[in-house]
Structure 1
Amino acid sequence: MLQKNIASSSLSFGDPILTAVHRALGEIQGNRPFALTGEDGVRFVLALDGSDDHQMAAFVDGFCGGEADLVISGVRARMMKLTPESDDGAVLTPVTSISAGGPDMARVMEIATALKPDAVPSFTPAGRTAGTAVDLAKLAQRIPACLVSRPVEPTDDDETLITVRTEDVEVFRARLAATLKPVSEARVPIADGIASRFVIFRNAIGGIATAVIVGEPDATAPLPVRVHSSCATGDIFGSRRCDCGEQLQLGLHRLEELGGGCLIYLDQEGRGLGLANKMHAYTLQDQGLDTVDANMVLGFHDDERDYHAAGFMLKRLGWERITLLTNNPTKLTGLAAAGIEISDRLPVVTKANADNRRYLETKARRAGHLLGTAGLLETV
C-alpha cells in the first residue's frame, strides 16, 4: 500500500516525462542497463562508453539471452560508408558478428569509435526504439553507441529496471528548457571594469545556465545578445586550438560598447559533445581529420547544441527582440525556432593563430560560419 501511495502522488513532484528521461540518463552515467519502450516492444540497453568486458558479458547473458546487437548512430554509419549518404537512421549488427569468441569490449568499441576499424560487419537499420538508445547516449554526453537486446514483450519483471519511452526522449530537450527559472542573482564586476549582473537559472533536473547582464540595456530597443557555449579549454585555460576564450571576452566588451546587453552562457561544451568527447575529437584531429569529420567519426553531428534554453531565458528576462552577436547561422535559426525575433546580426570575429587557423577555416568552409576574411588573414 505504501508503494502505491508513493506512486500515485509522484505526479506532484515534477514532470513524469522529465523524471523518466533524467533517471535513464543517470543509468547511462552510472554504467547500468535500463529499459526502453517503443513501437516494437521493450529493448534493454547498455551504453558502451564507460562499460567493461565484465559488464558487457553480464548484460548480454543476463538481459539479452546471449543475443545482443550493437547500435551506432547514422552519422557514423555514413562516415564508415555503411549506409547511403541520404540515410540518417541508426544502424545495428549482432554482437556475435563482431566478437564471436565471447565478449570483447575493445573490439566492440573499435567498431563503434575507431577511425579505421578492421573487418567491419554488415549493419541493418536499427528502427526507432534502438535509435533512441543512441540519442540518450548523446544526451548523457557519452559516445553514441549502445548494446541493445532484441525486442521483447513488456513484463512485470521490467519494473526492476529504470524504464523510459521513446516518445519521452524525443521531446526531452525542449520540455526541459521550458522549466528554466531564475533562482539567484548578484552584481559581479568583471575584467576591465565591465559592470555586470549574473542571473542564475536552474531547470527541473538541476541543470544551471547563466545570463550575464552587462550595463543597463535600453528596454525600448532590441537587446544586444551574445549566446556563448561553455569551453573549459578556451574560456578557462586559454587554449589556442579554438577561438572561444577570445570570443567570450570580445562579446562582453562589444555588449558594453553597445550600451549594455546580455551574454547567455550555456553548458554545451564541445558543441554539445561534452568535454570527454571533445578530447576524443581532438585526438582524431591530431590524426588528420578536421573538426567536422572528427565529430562525425565519433557518431555525432558536427554541432549537437540546442538553443531552446537561451530562448526561454531571454523571455523570462523580458526580452523577445534582440540583436544577436554571432558568426554562426545555426544560432540565428535556433533562437528564431525558440520564439526570439532577431532584428540584426553583428559579427564577433577574432584573429586566427597558428594553432586554430585550420579550425576557423573549417568552420567557415564546412559549417557556414560568417567569418569573412579578416579573422583568417590576421594572425597572432
Structure 2
Amino acid sequence: MSFAPHISELLARARADLRMGLPIVLNGPDGAILAISAEVLTAERLADLRELDSEATLAITSRRAETLKARPYDGDLARVILPQDADLAWIESVANPADDLRMPLKGPLVSARSGNANLHRLAIKMAKSARLLPAAVTVELPRGQEFAARHGLTLIEHADAAPHLLQPGTLHEVVSARLPIEVSEASRLYIYRPDDGGEEHYAIEIGRPDRAKPVLARLHSACFTGDVMGSLKCDCGPQLRGALAQMGAEGTGVLLYLNQEGRGIGLANKMRAYSLQDQGFDTVEANHRLGFEDDERDFRLGSDILKKMGFSSVRLLTNNPNKLAMMMKNGVHVAERVPLKVGETAFNKGYLATKARKSGHLL
C-alpha cells in the first residue's frame, strides 16, 4: 500500500506551488536546481536565493531572448546570469515585456553557456503549464533531494516529468446531461476532466449524430473576451455562435469547448499580449516578446474527446489547417473542411490578416 503521489499529481502540486510563489526542486542525473517563477517572485524569497552558495540565473525562452538580444546558447532557451545587484524590478523587466519600448536597454545580458540546461528547460515548461510568464529564477543545488525534504518543497524528477509533459492528460468523462440551448433543444453537455490536474474541457452534442457518418464538428478554444464579453478584437465569439447555428440548422453536430484561453497561454498572458498589440505589435510578435510560441495549444485533446464519444470521422468547421493535420495524425478522419468565415470587424482586420499571413489560416 502506498499513498505517495504519482508524477502527474506531483506536477499538479508543483504548478500550484509556482503560482503561489513557492520554489520547487527539479532533480536530474547531473544535479538539481531550485526554481521559482519570475512573475511572482518576492523580495524576501529573492534575498533567500541570494544566501544560497550558488550563482542565480533567469531562464527565459529563446523567443524572449531574441527580443532582449541575449545569447540562447542552449538553443530554445537562455540562462541569463543575474547580476549581483539585480533586484525585483530588473528581473521583471527581463521576464515581462510590458516596458520594453519605454526601457529597451536591459543589459548587457550575459548568458551561461556551460553545463546542462535540461532542468532549466523543465522549469520553463512548468511555468508555462501554470499559465505564468515563461521565465524562472534558478539556483543550482548540490543535494536537491535533501534540500527539498528539509524545506518541505515539491521535488520533481526530470526522468519522470519530461516524458509525462509531452503527452496531454488522459481525459475521463465526469458527467453528461441534457441541456436545451437556443439553437437546439435536443442538446447534451459532456464534461471531461484530465488526470493531470489541468482544466476541464466540454463537448456540446447537438441532436443524435450517427457515429457511422462524419459528424459536423468544431474545436473551439475558450475565449472569455470574445465568447462572453463580445470582444471586437477577435472573431471567436462569432465563430462559436456561427458553428452552433450551423449545427442547429443541420440538426446534429458536436462542438468541443477546450479550455485553452489565448492560444494556450492563459487569460492573464493574453491580456499582456493585447497590451503589447496596443503598442503596435501584431498577435504573433506579441506572443514572441512574451516568450511564447505562435500557438501553445494542444489540439490532441479534441481528437481524444471525439474518439471517446464514438466518432471516427468529421466534417470540421475550421479555417486552421493545423487542426486538420492534428485530427488526421491522431486517428480522426477529416472527410471535409467546412469554412467558418464570420466576425470580421474594423478592430480585428489586422489580427485576421496576421493569422492568414503568419499562421496559415484559410481566410
Query: Is the TM-score greater than 0.5?
Result: yes
Ranges in structure 2 where 5+ consecutive residues have no aligned partner:
none
Q: Which residue of 1 aligns with 2:79?
A: 92
Q: Residue 9 of structure 1 aligns to a residue in which SS?
A: coil
Q: Which residue of 1 aligns with 2:138?
A: 148
* Mapped partners of 2:164, 2:267: distance in 1: 22
2:33, 2:144 within 8 Å by CA — same for their partners in 1? Answer: no
Does residue 107 of structure 1 match 2:99? no
**Relative to structure 2, which stretch is displaced further, 158-167 or 271-280?**
158-167
* Mapped partners of 2:250, 2:108: distance in 1: 55
Q: Which residue of 2 aligns with 1:248?
A: 240
* Mapped partners of 2:318, 2:264: distance in 1: 17
| Residue from 148, 151, 176 that aligns with 1:185 | 176
RMSD of the alignment, in Å? 2.1
Q: Residue 277 of structure 1 aligns to a residue in which SS?
A: helix
1:217, 1:223 within 8 Å by CA — same for their partners in 2? Answer: yes
1:231, 1:270 within 8 Å by CA — same for their partners in 2? Answer: yes
Within 5 Å, give how 1:54-65 maps onto structure 2: 54-61=44-51, 64-65=52-53
- Amino acid of the residue matched to residue 132 of structure 1? L
**Relative to structure 2, which stretch is displaced further, 44-53 or 189-198?**
189-198
Does residue 203 of structure 1 match 2:181? no
Q: Residue 42 of structure 1 aligns to a residue in which SS?
A: strand
Q: Residue 360 of structure 2 aligns to a residue in which SS?
A: coil
* Mapped partners of 1:142, 1:35: distance in 2: 18
1:174, 1:308 within 8 Å by CA — same for their partners in 2? Answer: no
Q: How many Å apart are 1:186 and its aligned residue?
A: 1.4
1:40, 1:129 within 8 Å by CA — same for their partners in 2? Answer: no
How has the CA–CA distance of structure 1 residues 173 and 127 changed in structure 2, closer, same or farther, with 3 Å as cutoff? closer
Give the TM-score, by structure 1 length: 0.87
Q: How many Å apart are 1:257 and its aligned residue?
A: 3.2
Does residue 358 of structure 1 match 2:354? no
Q: Residue 328 of structure 2 aligns to a residue in which SS?
A: helix
Does residue 171 of structure 1 match 2:163? yes
2:228, 2:237 within 8 Å by CA — same for their partners in 1? Answer: yes
* Mapped partners of 2:309, 2:297: distance in 1: 22
Q: Which residue of 1 aligns with 2:286?
A: 294
Ranges in structure 1 where 5+ consecutive residues have no aligned partner:
1-7, 372-380
- Amino acid of the residue matched to residue 301 of structure 2? A
* Mapped partners of 2:176, 2:188: distance in 1: 7
Q: Which residue of 2 aligns with 1:3?
A: none
Does residue 333 of structure 1 match 2:325? yes
Identity of aligned residues (%): 35
Give the TM-score, by structure 2 length: 0.91
Q: Which residue of 2 aligns with 1:4?
A: none
* Mapped partners of 1:247, 1:311: distance in 2: 19
How has the CA–CA distance of structure 1 residues 174 and 259 changed in structure 2, closer, same or farther, with 3 Å as cutoff? farther
Structure 1 segments of 4+ aligned residues over 4 angstroms from their partners: 173-176
* Mapped partners of 1:129, 1:290: distance in 2: 32
Q: Which residue of 1 aligns with 2:265?
A: 273
- Amino acid of the residue matched to residue 77 of structure 1? A
